[in-house]
């Protein structure tokens, strides 16, 4: 290929200064950005992230290295708060079809508050989310009944749920079907079985990682950056080590209820258009909680998110 040929590819992994880009033909290139990129309207510390589609051309100095000249339009993106610069976010991943949150109700117990915060973030980024309840092999009849109740609640809100065991390989077909032909971001508290599940759905991962590590060794590998894996052609999984929560970026109090689907549909019915559903009279959301149409755990999560935002100010 001549050095002037433009190649289209996807950011596979980022080390901060270097990007591993996979061309549409499946070849990996080590690329850097030409000059300084500023993305309009986005306050982020990094201009590119895993999942970004880019145009690059080869450099003549070394084999398989390239220069990125263009970022193609993004379908969506996930930003989390930057640890260092509070006004800026960190671009975590782009062009994601769905987020998969792995949770366990036992060993360890994922709190409903954590699940709800995750769902509110993914709603705010407009990314569909699926819940995988892992370690179903550990459930006794009581916890199984509890899990069923929780799953029905989230299914009712439009979040598909599956009960699986990564270790005992129970219901993993459902996971295969879920990820087929899509790019999925996988998240979860540590200990829920994320690594176990990823190694089940991508058996060739050992191979893939060693292939990639020759690239990584040349750069500085930072584990806080997400990376992409291919489960099979057209099916991609993004793993984001160390990132449990998506983080709530710049959310106003009034905005939060918009990201609770069961509240969103009632918002026009509250007496006050800027109702926060706390102490206001004639509040359709509170009425729905009293009537049992909105679950108490969801409403409590909502209230605690309001409080957190207040505490930040
Ligand atoms: P991660 O921190 O989310 O990556 O979790 P790991 O994949 O490292 O799993 C944490 C622990 O849970 C390990 O000891 C796994 O063997 C165990 N584990 C993972 N999946 C299951 C499961 O479905 N059932 C049971 N019983 N244990 C599991
Ligand atoms: Zn209200």
* CB of residue 257 inside a 6 A radius of ligand 1: no
For a pocket test of ligand 1, which of 100, 186, 193, 244 has the largest count of ligand atoms closer than 8 A to its C-beta?
193
Which residue would you say has higher pLDDT here, 183 or 3? 183
Atom 6 in ligand 1: which residue has the minimum CA distance?
193
Q: Does 92 score more than 80 pLDDT?
A: yes
pLDDT of residue 241: 67
* Per-residue b or e along 42-75, where b marks 16 or more CB atoms closer than 10 Å to that residue's CB: eebebbbbbbbbbbbbbbeeeeebbbbeebeebe
User: How many residues are there in the chain?
Assistant: 313
* CB of residue 138 inside a 6 A radius of ligand 1: yes
Give the span between the Cα atoms of 160 and 180, in whole angstroms: 15
Q: Does 223 score more than 70 pLDDT?
A: no
3-state secondary structure at position 23: strand
pTM of the full predicted structure? 0.89
Q: What does the block give as tokens for 210?
A: 């060693």
Contact criterion met (CB below 8 Å) for 202 and 232? no
Average pLDDT over residues 147-171: 97
Average pLDDT over residues 187-203: 89
Closest CA to 12 of 181, 212, 196, 200: 212
In degrees and rounded to multiples of 5, residue 107 shows phi and psi of 45, 75
Q: What does the block give as tokens for 103?
A: 């949770």
Give the span between the Cα atoms of 96 and 129, in whole angstroms: 11
Beta bridge partners of 32: 67
Q: Return the ligand number nearest the Cα of 189.
A: 1
Cα 127 to ligand 1 centroid, rounded to whole Å: 26
Q: Does 207 score more than 60 pLDDT?
A: no
Q: Does 204 score more than 90 pLDDT?
A: no
pLDDT of residue 208: 43
Give the span between the Cα atoms of 48 and 271, in whole angstroms: 44
Q: Return the ligand number nearest the Cα of 257.
A: 2
* CB of residue 106 inside a 6 A radius of ligand 1: no
How crowded is residue 203: how many other Cβ atoms within 10 Å of its Cβ?
Answer: 9
Q: Does 161 score more than 90 pLDDT?
A: yes
Containing H/E element for 229? strand 227-232
Give the span between the Cα atoms of 8 and 71, in whole angstroms: 10
Q: Return the ligand number nearest the Cα of 287.
A: 2
Cα 271 to ligand 2 centroid, rounded to whole Å: 7
Which atom of ligand 1 is least distant from the CA of 107?
12
Cα 117 to ligand 2 centroid, rounded to whole Å: 20
Beta bridge partners of 130: 100
* CB of residue 28 inside a 6 A radius of ligand 1: no
pLDDT per residue as tens digits for the range 20-60: 999 998 999 999 988 766 666 677 778 899 999 999 999 87
Instruction: Assign 2 a pLDDT band (cuts: 50, 70, 90).
Output: low
Q: Does 312 score more than 50 pLDDT?
A: yes
* CB of residue 107 inside a 6 A radius of ligand 1: no
* CB of residue 202 inside a 6 A radius of ligand 1: no
Residues 6+ apart with CB under 8 A from 262: 157, 288, 293, 294, 298
Contact criterion met (CB below 8 Å) for 154 and 122? no
Instruction: Assign 215 a pLDDT band (cuts: 50, 70, 90).
Output: very low
Instruction: Assign 114 a pLDDT band (cuts: 50, 70, 90).
Output: very high
Contact criterion met (CB below 8 Å) for 66 and 21? yes
Q: Return the ligand number nearest the Cα of 294.
A: 2
* CB of residue 135 inside a 6 A radius of ligand 1: yes
Residues 6+ apart with CB under 8 A from 273: none
Atom 15 in ligand 1: which residue has the minimum CA distance?
193
DSSP state of 165: B
Q: Does 129 score more than 90 pLDDT?
A: yes
Q: Does 245 score more than 80 pLDDT?
A: no
- Please state, for a pLDDT cut of 70, what percent of the chain lies above it: 83
* CB of residue 195 inside a 6 A radius of ligand 1: yes
Please report, for residues 39, 79, 113, the alpha-carbon distance to residue 131 in angstroms, rounded to integers and kept in the order given: 32, 20, 14
3-state secondary structure at position 232: strand
Contact criterion met (CB below 8 Å) for 276 and 254? yes
pLDDT of residue 244: 57
| Pairing mode of beta strands 65-71, 53-58 | antiparallel
3-state secondary structure at position 37: coil
Atom 18 in ligand 1: which residue has the minimum CA distance?
193
* CB of residue 304 inside a 6 A radius of ligand 1: no
């Amino acid at each position: 290929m001549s050095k002037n040929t433009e190649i289209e590819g996807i950011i596979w992994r980022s080390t901060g200064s270097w990007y591993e880009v996979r061309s549409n033909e499946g070849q990996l290139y080590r690329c850097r950005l030409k000059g300084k990129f500023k993305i309009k309207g986005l306050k982020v510390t990094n201009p590119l992230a895993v999942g970004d589609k880019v145009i690059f051309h080869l450099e003549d100095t070394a084999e398989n290295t390239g220069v990125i000249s263009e970022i193609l339009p993004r379908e969506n993106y996930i930003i989390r708060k930057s640890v260092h610069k509070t006004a800026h976010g960190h671009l975590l991943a782009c062009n994601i079809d769905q987020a998969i949150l792995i949770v366990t109700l036992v060993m360890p117990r994922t709190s409903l508050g954590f699940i709800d915060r995750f769902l509110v973030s993914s709603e705010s980024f407009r990314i569909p989310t699926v819940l995988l309840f892992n370690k179903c092999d550990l459930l006794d009849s009581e916890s199984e009944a509890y899990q069923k109740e929780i799953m029905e609640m989230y299914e009712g809100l439009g979040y598909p749920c599956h009960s699986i065991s990564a270790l005992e390989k129970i219901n993993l077909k459902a996971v295969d079907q879920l990820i087929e032909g899509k790019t999925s971001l996988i998240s979860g508290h540590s200990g829920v079985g994320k690594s176990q599940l990823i190694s089940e759905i991508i058996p060739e991962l050992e191979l893939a990682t060693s292939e990639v590590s020759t690239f990584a060794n040349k750069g500085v590998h930072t584990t806080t950056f997400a990376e992409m894996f291919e489960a099979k052609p057209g099916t991609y999984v993004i793993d984001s080590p160390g990132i449990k929560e998506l983080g709530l970026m710049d959310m106003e109090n009034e905005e939060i209820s918009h990201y609770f689907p069961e509240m969103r549909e009632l918002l026009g019915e509250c007496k006050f258009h800027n109702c926060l559903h706390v102490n206001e009279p004639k509040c359709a959301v509170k009425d729905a909680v009293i009537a049992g149409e909105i679950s108490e755990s969801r409403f409590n999560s909502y209230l605690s998110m309001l409080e957190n935002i207040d505490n930040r100010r």
